[in-house]
């Protein structure tokens, strides 16, 4: 049995063999701690019949742990220089497929159809580059993929913002955007010391369990998200102020006030104090004066 990929020595060995240098523009930070990787996989609750989709496998450290746990693994890798490395490191795992593609441009529905069984238990598990965390997560959530959930290692601050509850400093439009589609929780805090090269901040493992229905029923999804965004445009301003400056005109102030009263929402409250349900109610009620 070959040595596991994610040890400091084996990682160094592989990088040296291929003369690989890290590209800052791709946000490459490789994990060199097998225990952390096993814990990430553990958060995904995979079994032998599960399938896993990975984004940015690097040299295959997490991929290897996923391959040991489940039936099928498909990984998207944007960096062509890593393909020959993955070819070698993942050779013992014939049930792993690496696709050379930017996941943001990929047709994930087609990839799932081609690589996994119908109704197979599917999870996205990845160590995401910091600079594209939000666009990737939103794509995965908005495209309504046939997956059970997402377990990703991302920047600690971003994980906290996504999982934040109303009334906290981290709660914002990103929390609502993610929690509209999924239940969110921060599972593990990962120190920056277990990566090479070492990033400047700590990471966290975020678990998103997809909802069968969105968290609230809204008549117009696009308007709901516009309203949420406008409500957080300037955090220190009241809801009323944000709405009249960022979504409606000042001439509609009275109409907005009437709707807020009807919804039992004080116009002097700040966006961060409103629950998802209140935003849903408000979006549906304000549609008439949009």
Nearest to 88 by CA among 124, 59, 63, 121: 59
Does the annotation list 77 as a binding residue?
yes
Does the annotation list 213 as a binding residue?
no
| 8 touches 29 (CB < 8 A) | no
Write down the residue that tokens 């701690």 correspond to: 33
Does the annotation list 31 as a binding residue?
yes
Does the annotation list 102 as a binding residue?
yes
Name the phi and psi angles at 223, rounded to 5.
-70, -35
**What is the C-alpha to C-alpha distance for residues 225 and 279, in angstroms, rounded to an integer?**
9
Give the bridge partners for 150, in sequence order: 124, 208
- Ramachandran quadrant class, 145 (left: phi over 0; alpha: psi -120 to 50; beta: rest): beta
Beta-carbon contacts of residue 69 (< 8 Å; ≥ 6 apart):
41, 46, 47, 48, 50, 52
Does the annotation list 127 as a binding residue?
yes
Binding-site annotation: residue ranges for S-adenosyl-L-methionine: 29, 31, 56, 77, 102, 127
Binding-site annotation: residue ranges: 29, 31, 56, 77, 102, 127
């Amino acid at each position: 049995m070959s040595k596991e990929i994610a040890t400091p020595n084996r990682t160094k060995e592989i990088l040296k063999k291929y003369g690989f240098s890290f590209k800052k523009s791709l946000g490459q930070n490789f994990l060199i701690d097998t225990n952390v990787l096993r814990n990430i996989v553990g958060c995904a609750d995979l079994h032998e019949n599960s399938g896993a989709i990975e984004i940015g496998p690097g040299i295959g450290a997490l991929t290897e742990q996923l391959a040991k746990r489940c039936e099928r693994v498909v990984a998207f890798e944007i960096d062509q220089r890593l393909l020959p490395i993955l070819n070698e490191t993942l050779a013992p795992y014939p049930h792993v497929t690496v696709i050379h593609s930017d996941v943001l441009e990929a047709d994930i529905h087609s990839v799932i159809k081609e690589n996994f069984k119908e109704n197979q238990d599917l999870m996205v598990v990845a160590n995401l580059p910091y600079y594209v965390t939000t666009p990737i997560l939103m794509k995965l959530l908005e495209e309504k993929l046939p997956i059970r959930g997402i377990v990703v290692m991302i920047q600690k601050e971003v994980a906290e913002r996504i999982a934040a509850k109303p009334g906290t400093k981290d709660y914002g439009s990103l929390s609502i955007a993610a929690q509209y589609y999924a239940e969110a929780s921060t599972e593990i805090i990962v120190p920056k010391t277990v990566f090479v090269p070492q990033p400047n901040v700590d990471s966290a493992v975020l678990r998103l369990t997809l909802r069968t229905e969105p968290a609230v029923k809204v008549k117009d999804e696009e308007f709901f998200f516009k309203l949420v965004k406008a409500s957080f445009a300037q955090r220190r301003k009241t809801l009323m102020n944000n709405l009249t400056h960022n979504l409606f005109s000042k001439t509609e102030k009275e109409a907005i006030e009437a709707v807020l009263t009807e919804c039992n929402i004080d116009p002097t409250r700040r966006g961060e104090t409103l629950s998802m349900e209140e935003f849903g109610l408000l979006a549906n009620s304000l549609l008439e004066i949009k």
